[in-house]
Amino acid sequence: MTAVIYTHSHGDHYGGVKGVVSEADVKSGKVVIIAPEGFLEHAVSETVIAGNAMRRRAQYQFGQLLPKGERGQVDGGLGKTIAIGTLSLIAPTDVIRKSGEIRLLDGIEIVFEMAPESEAPDEIYMYFPQFKVLNMAEVATHTFHNLLAFRGTVVRDALAWSKYLNEAASAFGDKAEVLIAQHNWPVFGGERVQDFLSKQRDLYKHVHDQTLRLLNQGFTASEIAERIELPEGLANEWANRGYYGTVRHNVKAIYQKYLGWYDGNPPTLIRFHEQRQLKSTSLIWVALTP
């Protein structure tokens, strides 16, 4: 073992590090740990600041405590499921700060590319020229990813996400013969890699642009979610289907990113129970006023 690469700051992508390397080997310099800029900050903010709530909500999102089977937990949507065990962390010793940085690890050249604010606030993907392998981390998976996880996260940027996919297709689509990613299976063959990246790019861009078109016309998040459908060329693509994120849910996440939870209708600023509470408070104030 000479190196560990954290692609981003989600626990399922760094939490098993002590199962493969010891902290002593890292401290001695025998093993390097590579991560994108901002990794530790974002790992702490997710795991600690809102960690209790997120872990609790994750149990509902993934059905971790359900019995395994067709009447319990089938899988996690994005992949089979997530591990239940001890979460560990060793701080990075080498930080990737910009796209195009190259590292030589055990004789293997790796080109790193930045993709912040996509699937995570900090994210990198990488290309292995010697093997013509493109590792897209969680930027391109065999599903429409979610833009706002039910367990809770910062809203992800669909427009930036589509741009990173376009950059990957432009820079490596004609070079890579194999595409791998976390959670899912590989894509083999240069033409299939290019097609996969292009259709993933178009998926995120289409839903983003159509959401913006309708919100600028005055539609609310729920109304937009009922109106947007994928064109046939995207909808019929297996890897674009909503096994993890769906068009309806992601539309609402995009709306939230740009406009927040308020739908623009003044009566909904204070719901009925809040209005009733305010009236009660007003009556008490009037009664106590001489």
> What would the pLDDT profile of 78-107 be if each residue is shown by its tens digit?
777 777 778 899 999 999 999 999 999 999
Tokens representing 11? 């626990």
8 Å CB contact between 71 and 54 = no
Residue 32 lies in a domain: yes
CA 99, 90, 131 angle in degrees (round to 5)? 45
> Does residue 278 belong to any structural domain of this protein?
no
Residues linked to residue 127 through DSSP beta bridges, in sequence order: 111, 134
Cβ pair 192, 150 in contact under 8 A: no
The answer to whether residue 264 sits within a structural domain is no
Q: Which two tokens stand for residue 70?
A: 């067709």
Tens-digit pLDDT profile for residues 180-222: 999 999 999 999 999 999 999 999 999 999 999 999 999 999 9
In a domain, 281, yes or no: no
Q: Which amino acid is at 129?
A: P
CA distances to 72, 200, 245 from 251, rounded to whole Å, are 28, 16, 10
Q: Which domain holds residue 177?
A: 3-259
Q: CATH no. for residue 201?
A: 3.60.15.30
Residues listed for the chain = 290
Question: What amino acid is encoded at 216 in this protein?
Answer: N
Measured between alpha carbons, how far is 261 from 281 in angstroms, rounded to an integer? 26
Q: Does 93 reside within a domain?
A: yes
Q: Answer whether residue 65 is part of any domain.
A: yes
pLDDT, tens only, 237-260: 999 999 888 999 999 999 999 999
Side chain identity at residue 95, one-letter code? V
| Residue 287: per-residue pLDDT | 47
Query: Distance between CA 107 and CA 131 in Å, rounded?
Result: 12
Q: Structural domain tally of the chain?
A: 1
Q: Among all chains, which residue has been given the structure tokens 């994108």?
A: 36
The answer to whether residue 152 is domain-embedded is: yes
What is the reported pLDDT for 289? Answer: 46
Instruction: Determine, yes or no, domain membership for 147.
Output: yes
